[in-house]
Amino acid sequence: MRTNLSVEEALEVVLEAAQGKLPVEELPLKEAFGRVLAEDLASLVDHPDQDDTAIDGYACRAEDTLGASLERPVRLKVIGESPAGRPFPGEVGRGEAVALYTGAPIPKGADAVVRVEDTRREGDEVLLFAPASPKDIRPKGDDLRRGEVYLRRGDLLTPGRLGLAAAMGHPRLRVFRRPRVGVLSTGDEVVEPGEPLPYGGVYNSNAYSLMGLVLEAGGEPVLLGKVPDEPEAVLAKLEEAGPLDLLLTSGG
């Protein structure tokens, strides 16, 4: 067996041995940050779940607003309003409009929205200074479509991906267990920080750098301290450590 490997060759050996070795566990969404997905994740819902408005404004029929301008505004009757989460229950007819707020469903009968900046409210009527347009209507499923996969097995659950999983309707996620990574320093000259530093000694700095790298990579570091340059001492320390998925050693 070769013992003199390049960095690239060593990485290839480690990664080949690590494939598919970690068990899977299911966690609540709030505990899944920084973990790695163990399966593809499809959306459970359409988002939006109906056509809605991307702006504040008024929903109406586009044909009623043709030619609206500052010089020749179009006047419509306001028959209600619809904040996000409170759909307007009626239907928009000829010469009518419904005040909408961003995210509100488009009422039945309406096919366009005019920006609130292009209007002026006068009692139960609204003046339009520009034609209404369908371009600010977000169609059903514009962001997410039910059954479509948006996150993949092996994806690291960053803040953005965790939010996406929530938007898709998943309360729990199947993730790989964090790998338990042992960190062991060897050397007669190695001393733990806080202890008196003998002549020719060195503090055990590598262990804490490696611990940080393991945490940064999503692992669970197991600090094993340091052992002298004796094979028996190394074996005894490893037996104490319990099951490990990976062992990092630092020393001669």
CATH number of 91's domain: 2.170.190.11
193-200: average pLDDT: 88
In a domain, 100, yes or no: yes
Both 219 and 157 in one domain: the answer is: no
Residue 201 has a pLDDT of 86
- CATH number assigned to the domain comprising residue 155: 3.90.105.10
3: confidence class by pLDDT, cuts 50, 70, 90 = confident
In a domain, 19, yes or no: no
Phi, psi of 41 (to 5 degrees): -125, 120
45-62: average pLDDT: 95
pTM of the model: 0.74
Q: Which domain holds residue 166?
A: 25-45+144-176
Mean of the per-residue pLDDT values of the chain? 92
Residue 1 has a pLDDT of 64
Q: Report the percentage of the chain scoring pLDDT > 90.
A: 71
Between residues 227 and 99, the one the model is more confident about? 99
The first and second tokens of residue 145, run together, are 């479509």
CB 105 within 8 A of CB 82: yes
In a domain, 8, yes or no: no
Residue 36 burial (CB < 10 Å; 0-12/13-18/19+)? middle
Both 149 and 216 in one domain: the answer is: no
Both 188 and 171 in one domain: the answer is: no
Radius of gyration over every alpha carbon of the chain, rounded to an integer in angstroms:
31
pLDDT digits over 114-143, tens only? 999 999 999 999 999 999 999 999 999 999
97-126: average pLDDT: 96
What is the count of structural domains for the chain?
Answer: 3
Range 107-143 burial, b when 16+ CB lie within 10 A, else e: bebbbbbbbbebbeeeeeebebbbbbbeebbbeebee
Both 40 and 149 in one domain: the answer is: yes
Both 133 and 57 in one domain: the answer is: yes
The first and second tokens of residue 139, run together, are 């169609």
DSSP state of 139: P
Q: Using DSSP bridges, classify how beta strands 202-203 and 190-191 pair: parallel, antiparallel or unpaired.
A: parallel
In this predicted structure, the answer to whether residue 113 has a pLDDT above a threshold of 70 is yes
